[in-house]
């Protein structure tokens, strides 16, 4: 038994170190999205139940945005619909959408890789990011929802 005791201690110590290392690496490989600032602000925006007429009244569209992505071999053509919280906010949005909002969208898309836009999760993340950036830009009111109404990704 005396000869086995050092071996048992060594084995238990090795197992403990492996478990601790695995726990630390697990947090690095699979980070939680709870502290993601993109999701935080997007979750703070409340959506109300509106009628179809109210939705049309509060929605503004930006069509035919064509730009390259982060990978210059890919081009995207995309349309957006932005739902705002008040009619006054929509008026303000309409005034600045060509001079402030469109360039903001193009800059955001310039940092996006084609793989990041694949699937619903990628598109939702883009919409959340745009929602946060546009709300910082608006002089009055808030964007409550961003939807992609048309999307074409093509390689050159």
Q: Whose structure tokens read 């793989």?
A: 115
Q: What is the pLDDT of residue 59?
A: 92
What does the block give as tokens for 85? 């919280």
Whether residue 117 contacts residue 76, with contact meaning beta carbons closer than 8 Å, is answered with yes
Q: What is the pLDDT of residue 100?
A: 92
Torsion of CA 42, 131, 81, 152, to 10 degrees: -100
Nearest residue to 134 (alpha-carbon basis) of 57, 69, 53, 41:
41
| pLDDT tens by residue, the chain, 156 residues | 678 888 899 999 999 999 998 888 887 777 665 555 555 555 555 556 778 888 889 999 999 899 999 988 999 999 999 999 889 999 999 999 899 999 999 999 999 998 888 888 889 999 999 999 999 988 888 999 999 999 999 988
Q: What's the pTM value of the predicted model, to 2 decimals?
A: 0.67
Name the strand (E) or helix (H) holding 12. helix 5-29
Q: What is the pLDDT of residue 148?
A: 93
Residue 32's Cβ-side half-sphere holds a number of Cα atoms within 13 Å equal to 4
Q: What is the pLDDT of residue 48?
A: 66
* CATH number 1.10.760.10 is the correct assignment for the domain at 35-155: no
Q: What is the pLDDT of residue 39?
A: 52
In the DSSP assignment, the letter for residue 142 is -
What does the block give as tokens for 20? 């601790």
């Amino acid at each position: 038994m005396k000869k086995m005791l050092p071996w048992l201690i060594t084995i238990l110590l090795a197992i403990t170190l492996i478990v601790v290392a695995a726990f630390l690496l697990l947090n690095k490989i699979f980070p939680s999205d709870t502290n993601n600032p993109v999701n935080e602000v997007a979750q703070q925006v409340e959506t109300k139940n509106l009628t179809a007429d109210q939705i049309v009244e509060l929605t503004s569209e930006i069509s035919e945005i064509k730009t390259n992505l982060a990978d210059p071999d890919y081009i995207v053509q995309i349309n957006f619909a932005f739902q705002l919280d008040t009619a006054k906010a929509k008026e303000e949005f309409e005034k600045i959408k060509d001079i402030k909002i469109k360039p903001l969208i193009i800059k955001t898309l310039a940092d996006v890789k084609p793989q990041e836009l694949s699937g619903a999760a990628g598109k939702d993340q883009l919409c959340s990011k745009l929602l946060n950036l546009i709300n910082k830009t608006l002089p009055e009111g808030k964007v409550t929802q961003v939807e992609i109404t048309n999307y074409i990704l093509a390689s050159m």
